[in-house]
Amino acid sequence: MIGARHPLVQLTLARFREFARQPETVFWVFAFPLLLAIALGIAFRNRPPDRVRIAIQAGAGADSLAARLAGARDLRVAVLDPAAAAAQLRTGRVALVVVPGDPVVYRFDSTRTESHLARLVTDDELQRAYGRRDPQAIREVKITEKGARYIDFLLPGLLGMNLMGTGLWGVGFAVVSMRVRKLLKRLLASPMRRSHLLLSFALARLATVVLEVAVLVAFGMAVFGVPLRGSVVSLAIVALLGALTFSGIGLLVASRAQTEEGVSGLMNVVMLPMYVLSGSFFSSSNFPDLMQPFIKALPLTALNDALRAVMLDGSSLAALGLPLAILAAWMVVSFAVALRIFRWL
């Protein structure tokens, strides 16, 4: 029976106390992701798209073109002399320049999304103004769907990123600091079981993870109305698996490092690629197809995918076989390797 005097309980309590008594870690774990969510949620809040800015090059026929486009709701039109029009197009202040004549010429950069949009809108307005009629009647229905906004995409990503950061720092940094202080050596001189020490790191993480996830998800639901469509149990299991995986990776990173500076560098090497590639802030599908298998194999990608599936799509665990298997594989391998190469003294 495990009572309060059991070494595992005492070790876990010690880990937890050290964490809770460090104001800076409490900030990074709890306050920082909330602030990030607020800032990004406001910056990328949903609003009607800006009107597209285009220019008409001054010259014969420019005024009549301007008159025909005057009624277009989605366009802001200015008549500019050729040099000014070219300069504004080059610097992106207008998305497209219309040169009057026959044929009418559109000058624009086809690789820019905005210019592409400007071409479609301008052409549509102009053709109608010249008398084109739509052969098929269309009715528009406008909706705002919760779950499809940027904040909905962002929040699970922040959660994943936070689980990675606290797992790596919380375990990795603490282990190295104990080694530097010769505290690991002192513990080894007692009859403490080594497995108890390692387990205590994982257990203390579990306690903080529950808080970490609850705070961020509750905040997202209350402030931004981010949905939680899957079950709380599924979310908890995915988050715990993610936390344990990154604890294992933290242990691996810390297994031989002899200085705190050394382990900090290693952690950044491990985390930076995942910050960029794993789809915390923007979808990882933006990267070329060639990189996709590699990106999918990263633990943070798997965790983010699984968290989004549970929160936004309401997926059950059964539907998340692949990402959960990837996480579990990372966890088992990193713990196993870490134990094998771990330096105690």
Partner 1 sequence: MPSPAISCRGLVKRYKDVVAVAGLDLEVRAGECFGLLGPNGAGKTTTVEILEGLLQPDEGTVEILGMRWATHERAIRERIGVQLQETKLADKLTVAEIVRLFRSFYRRGREVEEVLEIVQLTEKRRAWVSKLSGGQRQRLAIACALVSDPDILFLDEPTTGLDPQSRRQLWDVVAAFRARGGSVVLTTHYMDEAERLCDRVAVVDHGRTIAFGTPKELIASLGAEHVIEFALADGQAPPEAALRALPGVHEVRLDAGRTSLSVEELHSSLPAVIDELERHGLGMTELVTHHATLEDLFLHLTGRHLRDA
**Nearer to partner 1 by C-beta: 17 or 229?**
17
- What residue type is assigned to position 120 of the chain? L
CA dihedral over 87, 89, 94, 96, signed as positive or negative? positive
**Nearer to partner 1 by C-beta: 190 or 285?**
190
Question: Got the DSSP string for 46-114?
Answer: --PPPPEEEEEESSTTHHHHHHHHTT-TTEEEEEE-HHHHHHHHHTTSSSEEEEPSSS-EEE--TTSHH
Q: Hey, how many other C-beta atoms are within 10 angstroms of the C-beta on 165?
A: 19
Beta carbon of residue 181, minimum distance to partner 1 (angstroms, whole number): 4
Beta strands across the sheet bearing 105-107: 75-80, 52-57, 96-99, 105-107
Alpha carbon distance 196, 237 (integer Å):
23
Beta carbon of residue 11, minimum distance to partner 1 (angstroms, whole number): 7
Beta carbon of residue 21, minimum distance to partner 1 (angstroms, whole number): 4
Beta carbon of residue 256, minimum distance to partner 1 (angstroms, whole number): 18
Give strand pairing partners of 53.
Answer: 76
Beta carbon of residue 7, minimum distance to partner 1 (angstroms, whole number): 4
**Nearer to partner 1 by C-beta: 29 or 274?**
29
**Nearer to partner 1 by C-beta: 18 or 124?**
18
Site residues (vs partner 1, CB under 8 A): 5-7, 9-11, 13-14, 17-18, 21-22, 181-183, 185-192, 345
**Nearer to partner 1 by C-beta: 60 or 189?**
189
